[in-house]
Amino acid sequence: MSDILTFIVFILLAGLAIGSALAMVAQRNPLYSAISLIGVFGALAGLYLTLAAPFIAAVQIIVYAGAIMVLVVFVIMLLNVEEEVRRPVRLRYLVPTAVLLAAVLFAEAAFILFYVNDAPAPPSPLATAEPSTTGLTASIGTGLFTTYLLPFEITSILILMALVGAMTLARRTAARPQDLVVPGAQVLPLQMVEPARVGDDTPVRSDTTAEAARTLGLNEQEQTRE
Amino acid sequence: MFLLQANTTALFSVGELQLLAPELILTVCACAVLVMEVVLPYKRGKLTGYFSLIAVALAGASLFAQWYANSYLLPLTGFYGMVRIDGFAIIFKAIFLIAAALSIAVSLRYLDIEGEQRGEFYALVLFATVGMMMLACGYDLIALYISLELMALTFYVLVAFTKRERRSNEAGMKYFLLGAFSSGILLYGMSLLFGVAGSTNLGDIAHKINEVLNAPPMLEGAPTPLRPMLLLGMIALAAGLFFKIAAVPFHMWAPDAYEGAPTPVTAFLSTGSKAASFALYMRIFIEALGGMRADWAPQLGLVAAITILVGNWAAVTQTNAKRLLAYSSISNAGYLLLGLVAGNTYGYVGIILYLLVYTLMNVGAFGVIIALHRRGIVGDRVDDMTGLAQKAPGMAAMMAIFMLSLGGLPLTGGFIGKYFLFGGLLQRGATEQKNWYYWLAVWAILNTVVSFYYYLRFVYAMYFREQPADNRPLALSPALNTALVVACIGVVFIGIYPQPFIHAAQALIGALAASGVVALR
Amino acid sequence: MANLLALFAPPNVINELLQRLSLSPETINYVVWPFIQIGAVVTAIALWALYATYMERKISAFMQARLGPMRVGPWGLLQPIADAIKLLTKEDLRPDKADPYIFFFAPFISVAAAFIVFAVMPFGPDWGVITDINIGLLFVLSVSSVGVLALILAGWSSNSKYALLGGLRSSAQMISYEVSMGLALIGALMFARTLSLSGIVQAQGLDSIWYIFYQPLGLVIFLVSGIAENNRAPFDLPEAESELVAGFHTEYSGMRWSLFFMAEYAAMIVVSAMATTLYLGGWYFPFLWRIDHAGYHSLFVLLSLVVFIAKMVVLLYIYFWLRWTFPRYRYDQLMDLGWKWMLPAALLNIALTAFAVFTVQALDGWHGLKTIESLTRGVNLTWQGKVIMVAFGIAGLFIAAAMLSAINWRSRDFNLKKQRRQVRLVSPPQGQPAVAPAPSES
């Protein structure tokens, strides 16, 4: 009874995941694709739940559906991505080739799965041992701080590096020395501040507005005028 | 007394930290560089560069101390089997540190000219070096993959570092997209491997694979049940790694990324990243998949043959020096794969030596290109070398040495490396009584001859053309000059007197070869 | 007396009724009861959303020395009902260029995300909670993080610039504050040692202390972030009337608008209930357990529910209080507060709490000092341990204040005087103005 129920739930969730994934690829509207992707993540979280890994399921939702997809949707809206226009395919032979290769890969995978299925099943750990604690929050925490301590710490270096890298690539201030930079997110193009000095390459770096004004030769009176 | 409760179990013994001393030093220094970038005024930006050089030197010193103090204890393992410090790891870490130091030294002036003298650059280079070093000593698929990503992500950023340069942006984007894709394939292979072995530890995987391959078939003539899955995993792993080393079916990113990236990054990417990927290749294919040698050796041999062909012939037509060197780097990946195909001590020593020499000569060659880069002059075409012999004879001579060494002329380091690579192949052919090893060696040698054509184009441009490309002085700096001279001396020294290096490589690689033999049993 | 108390035993009555209908105990426990509970909770929340408007209008009126709604019913008590009828019967407009599907679904996502959370809220012991799952806290966080999507989608699908800007603002704001909100909870979790919300309440009961005493800093961060996460004043930038009309729901009307409205008020309850659960001891009240021991279990559960709701209402009152006494932040100030004040404070809170727990554990057995009672279900401390921990908690407030002022000592975001004086750096271009000024009549 419960086996059948588990199977039905699995089929439903797997179907949702695959269907959403297909919809994501097939959609022309990027926002619809993003929403389909959220469906995939949700279905995956459900599958994790059926595998008795509630922590992973919750984290899947928080990180992917909650944080990453919100950012993706955010970017789609911010860039105002239009519906993708159907362009003429330049490389006509690519589509049949891709289909052929995909079929080959699929056949290969099916062949392998067939053989693996024929292999004698390993003794199920569930049948003999106590209920597994894998996937529970405590066991994941223990794992992170013992066996996987080192990968965990390398990951933290990775994230620090990604932060630095993202900031390096995204920061606009240091890229153009001819811009006036006022701390606190204000970047004023030089030609706006002082049209006479356009073309002068001396970098203007200042820590305060007053300093910037002095560097640019604006007098105090002008600066404090209300 | 401050007694801890029983529930605060010891996570790891503090002594294990010394296994990672070089990496820890680099990480701390990289964070310090980030702080320095904020604190120091823009004009003093170069100080961070010199500081990172000191950091690399410190890491090198600690690495040496680690080897010196523990040489009879190797291999050491720690962190629940995640880390394995053996001769292989130490020698590769040394190569990464050399590559990092030379790249930082050549980049000091370059960043000034580009107006991008920012501390983040050095911090990122140090982070990438940490990733590479963890790749060399990681002994677990998870640790290896995360280290690989640490290295790769850093390079995506570094390649796009000069934001005002359109080519740099494009290169970063291309490299990122293809790199992310290949990481996916690699991860797929790893997951299949994990599925078969039930463990991510390389040693456990090796045991399990031997078990699977030596299991008696259930029916007469039927293949071993799990073997196809292993094969698919192996192929996916190989494909992902082919991308990282820029071997042929997956090499298309290399010319674009190398050309667009800031030249010091290209130098570091073509040496450090390649060496790290080879370290990963050797770890996985020799230690974990050693039992499947019969399956992967022909595959790698075929890819190596195609890579050598395509790399060399495509380089012939290039006019851009960085692009040309990119194709040369592709062909060199092919030569290095030969050492893996050979799979004996000769081959491994060849890989180590050739990677060392390659690091020196490639960073040197890119260093000369950097010297030609001045404000307003890109200087990365082969024609920009024209008349360099008259303007800067020393620089031209060093470039000529690097080029001849890349080609593999005797008395240069490149020759020694290639000698061992090809020799290992011949030895393997003699042991296994298979002809294709000989044919592969012959093929490689023939293509090496082709490579001389385009390497000599540089020499021709520098020495035999009259008109200098331009009259403005070269962009030299003490750090750049020192780096070039060190690289040049290294290349020549290894070429003339390679014995100490061969002995060191043999001694250090012994552990790896032994475990490979265990897996090969 | 005993007969009177028997009246407070509705579950038994219902159980008997259900058993008469020949339903199996499993069906009753896993199907019928949850439905009853869910129905009760949904009805209560919907009613609350109605009467919260009344409460809000009354409170605002009293703060401004007015009377508020007085016409419909006694003291205007039926005003919300009238409003509801108005909204239900109003025409449901959809802008012509709006995305039909997303525009249709966004309010439902919003209200569903707000309501699903109540499935794990421990309103009381025993039948006072619909279901208790071992990742309850994460469940709440994950579902409410999905709720952000509804606002963005609503803003985007309306195809209106005000709605779009409102949606963008709300998503940026909610992402920013979600981080510090989640991090603020970790301090309390270090004491509770479980993610189950009922488990957290029980841990506080066993330790017989509310975590607000251990975690005053955590509560402050959580409440501020929670208010910002709810887009309530003074953080109601996404629906700032003066600039964005009504933010992401500008184009919505009628029933669907009221769904957003309901979701907002439900989300307020979620944050208050979470704060109550984590920091105010949930449904625990001193000496209430004696009723249970005396044998009046159902009365105990009912009184616990009342305690929980009372604590929650106090927190909700803070919402209204803040709304009618604080001016709205500027957008850069809002982001500044999130990333430069709340996030460092939350991180500091984690470090401090970890240090405090470590110290208390280390001090146990030092010179005969006994600080720890047991560690089996949450951290149970002796009174010495509690004193130390509370001292750490109060010290944390000052340390956080010192650290935040050290980080932000050069920040100009809240110094309006300085901003007025210094931001005007641009000198207007000389010559003819692009638009001729209107001729002055005088």
Residue range A138-171, pLDDT digits in tens: 888 888 888 888 999 999 999 999 999 998 888 7
Q: C23 and C147, same structural domain?
A: no
Q: What is the pLDDT of residues C166-205, one digit of tens each?
A: 888 887 888 888 888 889 999 898 888 888 888 888 888 8
pLDDT for residue A186: 44
* Structural domains in chain C (count): 2
Chain C nearest CA to B12, separation (Å) = 18
Q: Global pTM?
A: 0.84
d(CA A178, CA A192): 11
**In this complex, do C372 and B1 lie within 8 Å of one another by their Cβ atoms?**
no
User: Could you give the ipTM of this predicted complex?
Assistant: 0.89
C208 or C398: whose pLDDT is higher? C398
pLDDT for residue A154: 93
pLDDT range class, residue B189, cuts 50, 70, 90: very high
**In this complex, do B3 and C375 lie within 8 Å of one another by their Cβ atoms?**
no
* Residue B35 included in any domain: yes
Residues whose CB is less than 8 angstroms from the CB of residue B499 and which lie 6 or more positions away in sequence, other chains included: none
pLDDT range class, residue B357, cuts 50, 70, 90: very high
Contacts of A224 in chain C (CB under 8 A): 421-422, 424
- For residue B521, pLDDT over 50 is answered with no
Q: C287 and C260, same structural domain?
A: yes
Q: Which of B20-29, B198-207, B221-230, C382-391 has the highest mean pLDDT?
A: B20-29
Reduce the DSSP state of residue A182 to 3 states and report it: strand
What value does the mean pLDDT take over residues C423-432?
53
Residue labelled with tokens 């060696």: B441
User: Which tokens is B288 given?
Assistant: 């974990």
d(CA B402, CA C52): 79
* Structural domains in chain B (count): 1
pLDDT for residue A152: 92
What value does the mean pLDDT take over residues B170-177?
92
- For residue C284, pLDDT over 60 is answered with yes
**In this complex, do A165 and B150 lie within 8 Å of one another by their Cβ atoms?**
no
- For residue B25, pLDDT over 90 is answered with yes
In chain A, the N- to C-terminal Cα span, in Å, equals: 78
pLDDT for residue C166: 81
Closest C-alpha among B5, B31, B28, B9 to residue B17: B28
pLDDT for residue B311: 92
Do the Cβ atoms of B450 and B376 come closer than 8 Å?
A: no
H-helix or E-strand containing A57?
helix A54-59
d(CA C306, CA B33): 57
Selecting from A55, A69, A209 the residue whose C-beta is nearest the C-beta of C422 gives A209
Using a pLDDT cut of 90, give the percent of chain B over it: 45
Average pLDDT, chain C: 82
What value does the mean pLDDT take over residues C257-264?
85
pLDDT for residue C426: 54
Contacts of C171 in chain A (CB under 8 A): 70, 73-74
- DSSP assignment string, C206-237: HHTS-HHHH-HHHHHHHHHHHHHHTT-TTS-G
Residue labelled with tokens 């569903």: C112
Do the Cβ atoms of B158 and B261 come closer than 8 Å?
A: yes
**Angle B162-B168-B94 (CA atoms, 0-180°, nearest 5)?**
80
Domain span at residue B138 reads 12-213+230-514
Contacts of B2 in chain C (CB under 8 A): 362-363, 366
Identify the closest residue of chain C to B1 by CA–CA distance: C366
A181 or C178: whose pLDDT is higher? C178
Residues whose CB is less than 8 angstroms from the CB of residue C226 and which lie 6 or more positions away in sequence, other chains included: C177, C181, C271, C274, C275
Contacts of A52 in chain C (CB under 8 A): none
C409 touches chain B (CB under 8 A): no
**In this complex, do C423 and A186 lie within 8 Å of one another by their Cβ atoms?**
yes
* Residue B2 included in any domain: no
Q: What is the pLDDT of residues C41-56, one digit of tens each?
A: 888 888 888 888 888 8
A neighbour chains, 3+ CB pairs within 8 Å: B, C
pLDDT for residue A191: 44
Probe site for chain C from B1, B2, B9 (most C CB atoms < 10 A): B2
Do the Cβ atoms of B102 and B129 come closer than 8 Å?
A: no
pLDDT range class, residue B143, cuts 50, 70, 90: very high
**In this complex, do A116 and B147 lie within 8 Å of one another by their Cβ atoms?**
no
pLDDT for residue A222: 45
Final residue of a domain: which of C66, C89, C112?
C89
Closest C-alpha among C262, C127, C137 to residue C190: C137
Residue B430: beta bridge partners? none
Q: C146 and C250, same structural domain?
A: yes
* Residue C286 included in any domain: yes
How distant, in Å, are the alpha carbons of B91, C167, C246 from that of C162? 61, 9, 8
pLDDT for residue C436: 52
Do the Cβ atoms of B480 and B111 come closer than 8 Å?
A: no
Q: C324 and C193, same structural domain?
A: yes
**In this complex, do C134 and A186 lie within 8 Å of one another by their Cβ atoms?**
no
Q: C156 and C31, same structural domain?
A: no
Residue labelled with tokens 């120091």: B40
Chains A, B: CB pairs < 8 Å = 104
pLDDT for residue B361: 92
pLDDT range class, residue C299, cuts 50, 70, 90: confident
pLDDT for residue C428: 52
pLDDT for residue A86: 65
C373 touches chain B (CB under 8 A): no
**In this complex, do A62 and C142 lie within 8 Å of one another by their Cβ atoms?**
yes
Give the HSE-up count for residue C79: Cα atoms under 13 Å, Cβ half-sphere: 16
* Residue C234 included in any domain: yes
- For residue C2, pLDDT over 50 is answered with yes
Chain A nearest CA to B321, separation (Å) = 26
Do the Cβ atoms of B265 and B329 come closer than 8 Å?
A: no
Closest C-alpha among C263, C267, C177 to residue C222: C177
pLDDT for residue A216: 55
Do the Cβ atoms of B327 and B313 come closer than 8 Å?
A: no
Using a pLDDT cut of 70, give the percent of chain C over it: 87
What value does the mean pLDDT take over residues C115-126?
86
Chain C nearest CA to A56, separation (Å) = 10
Contacts of C410 in chain A (CB under 8 A): 183
DSSP A122: P
What value does the mean pLDDT take over residues A39-58?
88
C420 touches chain A (CB under 8 A): yes
Q: C51 and C29, same structural domain?
A: yes
Strand locations in C14-86, DSSP E?
none
Q: C194 and C324, same structural domain?
A: yes
pLDDT for residue C8: 52
Q: C336 and C231, same structural domain?
A: yes
Residue labelled with tokens 């699908």: C157
What value does the mean pLDDT take over residues B365-381?
82
Final residue of a domain: which of C32, C62, C89?
C89
pLDDT range class, residue B222, cuts 50, 70, 90: low
User: Which tokens is C143 given?
Assistant: 């579902």
pLDDT for residue B519: 37
A74 or A22: whose pLDDT is higher? A22
What value does the mean pLDDT take over residues B422-432?
89
d(CA C442, CA C430): 26
DSSP A178: T
Q: What is the pLDDT of residues B232-256, one digit of tens each?
A: 889 999 999 999 999 988 888 999 9
**In this complex, do A151 and B123 lie within 8 Å of one another by their Cβ atoms?**
no
**In this complex, do B1 and C366 lie within 8 Å of one another by their Cβ atoms?**
yes
Torsion of CA C66, C70, C74, C77, to 10 degrees: -90
pLDDT range class, residue A126, cuts 50, 70, 90: very low
Domain span at residue C111 reads 90-342
DSSP B290: G
pLDDT for residue B401: 93
Selecting from A118, A147, A174 the residue whose C-beta is nearest the C-beta of B225 gives A118
- For residue B337, pLDDT over 70 is answered with yes
d(CA C345, CA C201): 25
- State the amino acid at position C328 in one-letter form: R
pLDDT for residue B332: 93
Average pLDDT, chain A: 73
B8 touches chain C (CB under 8 A): yes
Across B39-53, B58-72, B390-404, least confident range: B39-53
- For residue A177, pLDDT over 50 is answered with no
B neighbour chains, 3+ CB pairs within 8 Å: A, C
Identify the closest residue of chain B to A204 by CA–CA distance: B42
Residue B77: beta bridge partners? B84
d(CA C347, CA A7): 43
How distant, in Å, are the alpha carbons of A138, B88, B201, B274, B275 from that of B282? 36, 10, 15, 12, 10
Q: C101 and C74, same structural domain?
A: no
**In this complex, do A164 and B124 lie within 8 Å of one another by their Cβ atoms?**
yes
C175 touches chain A (CB under 8 A): yes
Strand locations in B201-318, DSSP E?
none
* Residue B489 included in any domain: yes
Q: What is the pLDDT of residues B114-130, one digit of tens each?
A: 777 778 899 999 999 99
Do the Cβ atoms of B337 and B286 come closer than 8 Å?
A: no
d(CA A67, CA A80): 20
Q: What is the pLDDT of residues B474-485, one digit of tens each?
A: 777 888 899 999
* Residue C244 included in any domain: yes
B5 touches chain C (CB under 8 A): yes
- For residue A180, pLDDT over 50 is answered with no
Q: C172 and C103, same structural domain?
A: yes
Chain A nearest CA to B161, separation (Å) = 7
**Angle C412-C413-C419 (CA atoms, 0-180°, nearest 5)?**
60
C358 touches chain B (CB under 8 A): yes
* Residue B5 included in any domain: no
B4 touches chain C (CB under 8 A): yes
Contacts of C364 in chain B (CB under 8 A): 3, 5
Closest C-alpha among C9, C230, C200, C10 to residue C120: C200
- For residue C303, pLDDT over 90 is answered with no
Considering just the CA atoms, what is the radius of gyration of chain C in Å? 25
pLDDT for residue A88: 66
- State the amino acid at position B224 in one-letter form: T
Chains A, C: CB pairs < 8 Å = 107
pLDDT range class, residue A195, cuts 50, 70, 90: very low
How distant, in Å, are the alpha carbons of A147, A148, A152, B352, C238 from that of B83? 11, 11, 13, 20, 50
Torsion of CA A202, A208, A209, A214, to 10 degrees: -50
d(CA C37, CA C130): 6
Contacts of B3 in chain C (CB under 8 A): 362, 364-366
d(CA B493, CA C256): 79
Do the Cβ atoms of B97 and B63 come closer than 8 Å?
A: yes
Final residue of a domain: which of C58, C73, C89?
C89
Average pLDDT, chain B: 86
d(CA B245, CA B334): 9
- For residue A226, pLDDT over 60 is answered with no
**In this complex, do A195 and C423 lie within 8 Å of one another by their Cβ atoms?**
no
Chain A nearest CA to C242, separation (Å) = 23
C neighbour chains, 3+ CB pairs within 8 Å: A, B
**In this complex, do A149 and B79 lie within 8 Å of one another by their Cβ atoms?**
yes
Closest C-alpha among B446, B204, B440, B423 to residue B299: B440
What value does the mean pLDDT take over residues C389-415?
84
Q: C180 and C68, same structural domain?
A: no
How would you classify the pairing of strands A186-188 and B76-78? unpaired
Chain A nearest CA to C145, separation (Å) = 5
pLDDT for residue A115: 67
**In this complex, do C358 and B8 lie within 8 Å of one another by their Cβ atoms?**
yes
Q: C217 and C98, same structural domain?
A: yes
What value does the mean pLDDT take over residues A125-140?
64
